[in-house]
Amino acid sequence: MNIKNKTSERLKFNQLVKTLLLILAVLFCSLSIADKKKSPSAAEMDKGFYGIMRVASDPKEFINKVQKSTKKGVLELPKSSESVKVGKEAAIFIFFSGCKADKAKKCNSNISFTIYKPNGKVYAKTKKLELWKGKPLGKGKLKLSSAQIGIEVEKKDPKGKYRVEAKLIDVIAKKTITLKQSFEVKK
């Protein structure tokens, strides 16, 4: 499995996915959320630092669905993919809310990803990446993180259930949350 992030030197993200992610990031500056699977209430997001992870087995389709929903002014997050096929590229997206601002009125938050093999051993781990270092969002608003990772399952990778953990760290508020998601690797 190749792990790709926007700061990686050894791996290239598919140019189409990069362009779509940039468009998507711009669209999410201040959108409300309507998540059909597990919708956080405004009260949950108002409590502070909050995050949602999605695995997209077809990043282009995922982004298209989200873009269509944003035209209405409401972010509808598609369900997370349950499986990823060998030889196909997938992506992991993080949406967040509630980072605390410093005296300069900017957030400072990071994210790191760990992917576990079906046997529970660490398969891949990223260093700390930028979650968000900008103005905080309004209450009840959700934003796409600055960092996403792409994955490509190779033929040599073991089949089975992989687990992804994303650690979101709000440096200013001194808060950490861990998001967990799994996906099945099939032939």
Q: What is the CATH number of the domain that holds 43?
A: 2.60.40.3880
> Average pLDDT for residues 55-70, to the nearest whole number?
90
- The stretches of the chain forming alpha helices (DSSP H) are 15-27, 42-46, 59-70
- Distance in Å from the first CA to the final CA of the chain: 13
The lowest-confidence range among 16-25, 79-88, 154-163 is: 16-25
Amino acid residing at 186: K
Predicted pLDDT at 30: 37
Amino acid residing at 14: N
Whether 41 has a pLDDT exceeding 60, the answer reads no
Q: Residue 74 sits in which domain range? A: 2-186
Pairwise CA distance, residues 176 & 161, whole Å? 25
More confident of the two residues 120 and 186:
120
The band of 45, judged by pLDDT with boundaries at 50, 70 and 90, is low
Predicted pLDDT at 48: 76
Pairwise CA distance, residues 141 & 118, whole Å? 35
The total of structural domains in the chain comes to 1
Predicted pLDDT at 139: 73
Helices first, then strands: H and E counts in the chain: 3, 13
What is the model's pTM?
0.77
pLDDT, averaged across the chain: 80
**Model confidence pLDDT, tens digit, residues 90-120:** 999 999 988 999 999 999 999 999 999 999 9
* Residues linked to residue 184 through DSSP beta bridges, in sequence order: 83, 161
More confident of the two residues 187 and 56:
56
